[in-house]
A and B are shown apart, each in its own frame.
Chain A
Amino acid sequence: MKWIKNIFREIFGLFVDDGAFALAILIWLSFVRWATSHLALSSAIIGIILFAGLALILIESTTRYARHKR
């Protein structure tokens, strides 16, 4: 049954290798979902907010890694 355990570990590893990065994405998606139902914003604006937040998370995570790497 070790191979089943390996497959589950591999599947988890598909989505998460930096916990803070994955958590930030999930928090941002939750916030945008809340915003779509509570704020009177147009779809286009929410789409831009959704993308911009994800892009910022990517930028922050890669630059943080670069700063701490060497």
Chain B
Amino acid sequence: MATQQHHTGPEETSVGNRLVQPIDRRLFLRYSGLTACATGLLLAGCDDDDDDDMATDAVKLGSGDIGVLNYAYALEQLEAAFYAQVVATPYSGITTDERTIMQAIAKHEAVHRDFFKAALANNAIKGLTPDFSKVNFNDRTSVLTTARTFEDLGVAAYNGAGPLLQSTAFLTLAGKIVSVEARHAAMIRDLISNGSFANDVVNAQGLDQALPVADVLAAAQPFIKDKIDGSQVGR
């Protein structure tokens, strides 16, 4: 049985009201169809994955565009918490430029986090509890390689989630953020090894990574104490 997850069209939300994105009637009908799928009223043709074994206390990101935005919000919370810690307890031997860069990135991620929280309003998931027990914040390599993981993952997450968004306004907003994450990724990579800004994450066709929600959450989950349920994101 499909999860009883009520699908909320963006036009009904505070985000939608703020962004004023007129919804095409055809798209609205498709939304309605998706709602029917999500609520199990229509079984034929619905391909939702059931996640019966998901812990009941998991943080549900939600469905449709709201789910995508909460997905981004979860990742931004993780990044913001990480850089806040880096700034609070800088690694030994940090240079002046490195400190400036870390402080700036910490601000950017906090802005992203607070933006999603404000935009999602009462649709926002709760504040997550990070788990950075595997990170040695006193060690430059540990900090920078973790930062690289988060930034590359963020880029891949936004690139993969863009096509899931129904609202053009949300798509543009995600685009405004992903390029900043890519700028971060390039700088962190260059701090690790100058010139590695576009190394293994960019393939022979000159394409950055794009990952599905499940893959991104699997990679992020070890750094978050709360169990995240993204099974309905974009659906």
A and B co-occur in one complex: no
